[in-house]
């Protein structure tokens, strides 16, 4: 049976169908979840997709974390379930306190929309299971507020616990320690600014997002590594 | 009682503010020399109902900590006075 990946649709999300398509092309089932529902309907994994949830009003992710579905997403994560936040979804996870740190405006104040080369830094997270440390992946970024920052003691903790999942090879946005993605202490919640679903088919110019999405399906229980 | 509230949020000291830096760099082009330390933030004005001023302030402080600011990168100053915000 195909693993079901629930993709949360907030008002203003705009990458949900890309994720559903990419998951489907890899043998999983992508299922849209509405932010106003209080349940995630028993899905195996959850993706918070890119976009502008609730218009990014106040701050990106600041209002999305109050959406009713987030309680269920938190419970899923607390039970060890995989949750991945992509771009705006990463911002939501940080605002919700499910991941440490915050994402602020890019250092150069430019909206960045281009491929970024990433280095895989940890191979035992929901998003990188079976992907060797050191692997380089070309995956597009598409953001204005992707400049990851955190308190020095948080950064020390992330490094000590090997929770930096992905780093930029050539830092495009000023992120501290070149961080492109981090994970929770349980390694089942992962947030990243780049969009693996936009690098999931040769027609898109890169298939380097496939190992990441495949890992999510493996974690969700459908495929074997 | 009604209290008029002004909340001003800004990036915390030590957090880079690229927007403020860009504005600061642009000012000399208009002849505004000698401007330093530009920081960009937001302000919120609203009215709250509370028994007294400390009560109103406690409520707004909580609002700031949990919603109006992201404490990882921002802080806020709160001004409370009797009356209605306008």
User: What is the reported pLDDT for A139?
Assistant: 98
> Which residues of chain B, if any, have pLDDT below 70?
none
pLDDT at A38: 96
Query: Using one digit for the tens of pLDDT, what is the confidence trace for A73-90?
Result: 999 999 999 999 999 999
**CA B69 from centroid of its chain's CA atoms:** 9
**Is residue A173 included in any domain, yes or no?**
yes
Question: Residue A152's closest chain B neighbor by CA?
Answer: B72
CATH number at residue B11: 3.30.1280.10
Number of domains in chain A: 1
Per-residue pLDDT of A122-170, as tens digits, reads: 999 999 998 999 999 999 999 999 999 999 999 999 999 999 999 999 9
Q: What number is the ipTM of this complex?
A: 0.85
Structure tokens at A221: 């229980």
**Band of residue A225 on the pLDDT scale cut at 50, 70, 90:** very low
Q: Which residue range(s) make up the domain with B31?
A: 2-82
Q: How confident is the model at residue A2 (pLDDT cuts 50, 70, 90)?
A: confident
Say which of B19, B70, B72 has its CB closest to residue A105: B19
* A44 found inside a domain: yes
Q: What is the pTM of this model?
A: 0.93
Q: Are A180 and A163 in contact (CB under 8 A)?
A: no
- pLDDT surpasses 80 at A9: yes
The enclosing domain of A14 has a CATH number of: 3.40.50.880
Whole-number pLDDT of residue B25: 93
The residue length of chain B stands at 86
Question: For residue A38, how far is the Cα from the chain centroid?
Answer: 21
Q: A148 to chain B: which residues are within 8 Å by CB?
A: none
Cβ contact, residue pair A109, B15, below 8 Å? no
A48 and A93 in contact (C-beta within 8 Å)? yes
| Burial of residue A100 (number of CB atoms within 10 Å: 0-12, 13-18, 19+) | buried
Q: For chain B, how many structural domains are there in total?
A: 1
Average pLDDT value for chain A = 96
Contacts of A191 (CB under 8 A, 6+ apart): A84, A85, A86, A89, A90, A93, A94, A99, A181, A182, A183
The confidence score (pLDDT) of residue B5 equals 98
Structural domain of A124: 4-220
Asked whether residue A224 carries a pLDDT value surpassing 50, the answer given is no
Best CA proximity match to A15, nearest among A52, A70, A43, A41: A52
Q: Quick one: which of A199, A207, A200, A188 has its CA closest to A127?
A: A188
């Amino acid at each position: 049976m195909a693993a079901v990946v629930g993709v949360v649709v907030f008002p203003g999300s705009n990458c949900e169908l890309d994720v559903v398509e990419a998951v489907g092309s890899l043998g999983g089932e992508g299922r849209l979840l509405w932010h106003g529902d209080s349940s995630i309907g028993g899905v195996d994994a959850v993706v918070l997709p890119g976009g502008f949830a609730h218009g990014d009003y106040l701050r990106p992710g600041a209002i999305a974390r109050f959406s009713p579905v987030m309680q269920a997403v938190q419970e899923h994560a607390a039970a060890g379930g995989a949750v991945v936040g992509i771009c705006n979804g990463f911002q939501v996870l940080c605002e919700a306190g499910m991941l440490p740190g915050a994402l602020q405006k890019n250092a150069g104040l430019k909206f960045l929309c281009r491929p970024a080369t990433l280095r895989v830094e940890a191979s035992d997270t929901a998003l990188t299971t079976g992907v060797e440390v050191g692997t380089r992946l070309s995956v597009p970024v598409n953001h204005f507020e992707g400049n990851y920052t955190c308190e020095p003691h948080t950064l020390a903790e992330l490094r000590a616990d090997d929770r930096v999942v992905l780093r930029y090879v050539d830092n495009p946005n000023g992120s501290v320690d070149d961080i492109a993605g981090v994970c929770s202490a349980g390694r089942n919640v992962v947030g990243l600014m780049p969009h693996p679903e936009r690098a999931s088919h040769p027609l898109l110019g890169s298939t380097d997002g496939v190992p990441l999405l495949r890992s999510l399906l493996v974690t969700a229980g459908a495929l074997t590594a | 009682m009604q209290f008029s509230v002004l909340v001003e949020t800004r990036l915390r000291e030590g957090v880079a503010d690229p927007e403020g830096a860009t504005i600061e760099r642009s000012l000399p082009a208009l002849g505004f020399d000698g401007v330093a330390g530009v920081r960009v933030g937001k302000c919120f004005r609203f009215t709250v109902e509370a028994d007294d001023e400390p009560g109103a302030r406690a409520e707004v402080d909580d609002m700031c900590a949990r919603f109006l600011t992201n404490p990882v990168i921002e802080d806020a100053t709160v001004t409370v006075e009797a009356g209605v915000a306008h």
